Amino acid sequence: MNLLSALEKAFSESPQNLEENPRVAYAGTRGSYGEEASLSFFKGTGELFPCKTFDDVFEALNQGTSDYGVLPIENSSTGSISTVYDLLSKYQYYIVGEEEVRVRHCLLAPKGANLQTIKEVYSHPQGFSQSQDFLNEYPQWQCIPYYNTAIGAAYVAQKNDPNLAAIASKRAGEIYDLLVLAEDINFSQTNVTRFVIISRELKFFKDPTRVSIAFHLPHRPGALYEIIGVFSVFSLNLCKIESRPLLNQNWEYLFFVDFTGNISQNTLANLIPIIQEKADYFQFLGYYPQYDQTKI
C-alpha cells in the first residue's frame, strides 16, 4: 500500500482507541524513566515488558510479542537519541504518541554508605553527563558507564557495598531499597526526556497535532530552503529540524522534521506529494497528539 492510501485508511479509521490491555515493550528496567513514561502514557494499564536495548524493543514488535514500544527520542539537555531514528528508518514503524518525563537524578547507595565511602558510581553515560557539575566536586570517584540508570541502581543494590553508588531516579532508589545520598543532581533543573510510543501500523489516536517526517534531499544549493518554504506556504510550524549523515554516502544528510499547525487529511494529501517530488527519499514517521506541556 502506498503512503497516501495508508494515510487515507488511517484517517478513515481514526480516532483509534487504545486496546484494553496492550502489551508494551520499553527500553529499560523496573524503576527506569522508560517504565515511568510507559506507566504514564498507558495510564497504568497494559502488560509492561522491559527490554535491554532499543533494538530489542523493535524486535518485540517485529516478532509480535508486543503491541507498542516506548523509546526515548530526545533529551532537553543532551539532544536527540539518534539510534532511535535509525531504527525507525530500518523497521519502517510509526510514532503513535509521545510522553515526557522529567529527569531528576539522585545519587543512590546501599544502607551504611555516605558521600565519604563512595569510590565507584554506576549510571548510563547520559546520567553522568547530565550530572557533570555535581560529579566535578568528587574527582576521586570512578564513573562506570552502564546500560541504563535503573540497571545501575539494581547492580549497586545487589552488590550491597558502601563503596558503590548509582545515579538514577528517586523511584529506582525506592524499588531497589537504596539510600538517597544527594537529590536533583542533574545540572539542568528542567531536564526533560521525550519518549515516543511506536507501533507496526500507521494509526491515529484522538486529536493528533504533531507530524514527524524524514527525507533526503539531492545535494544542490537551495534544496533545503525550498522545502522549508513549502512548510511556510502551508502555514505549518517547524518544531524540530535535524540533519543526520546518510549511511554509505558520507556527509549527505537525512533530515528529520517535526511540525504542528492546522493539519487535515487534505493538508497532508497536498503537502506530501510536493515534498516527495523534491526529495530523493521520504518517510512519514507519524501523526500523533503532542504532549501537554502543562502536565510537566
182 binds a second copy (CB under 8 A): no
129 binds a second copy (CB under 8 A): yes
Task: Please report where in the chains the cell 493528533 appears, as a residue.
Answer: 208
Q: By C-beta, is 155 or 282 nearer to a second copy?
A: 155
Minimum distance of a second copy from residue 262's CB (angstroms): 12
Active-site residue, 54 included: no
Q: By C-beta, is 17 or 250 nearer to a second copy?
A: 250
99 binds a second copy (CB under 8 A): no
184 binds a second copy (CB under 8 A): no
Length of the chain: 296
Of the residues 128, 149, 193, 259, which is catalytic?
193
- The single residue among 114, 247, 262, 270 that binds a second copy, judged by CB under 8 A, is 247
**Are the C-beta atoms of 78 and 124 separated by less than 8 Å?**
no
The span from the CA of 211 to the CA of 241, in Å, is: 12
231 binds a second copy (CB under 8 A): yes
Of the residues 41, 54, 128, 195, which is catalytic?
195
**Are the C-beta atoms of 278 and 226 separated by less than 8 Å?**
yes
| Burial bucket for residue 116 (CB in 10 Å: 0-12, 13-18, 19+) | exposed
Strands (DSSP E) contained in the chain are 23-27, 47-51, 68-75, 79-80, 94-102, 105-109, 120-123, 142-145, 164-169, 179-182, 192-199, 210-216, 237-246, 249-260, 281-288
**Binding residues for a second copy (CB under 8 A):** 55, 74-80, 82-83, 85-86, 125, 129, 132, 136, 145-147, 188-190, 192, 221-222, 224-225, 228-229, 231-232, 235, 237-251, 253, 293, 296
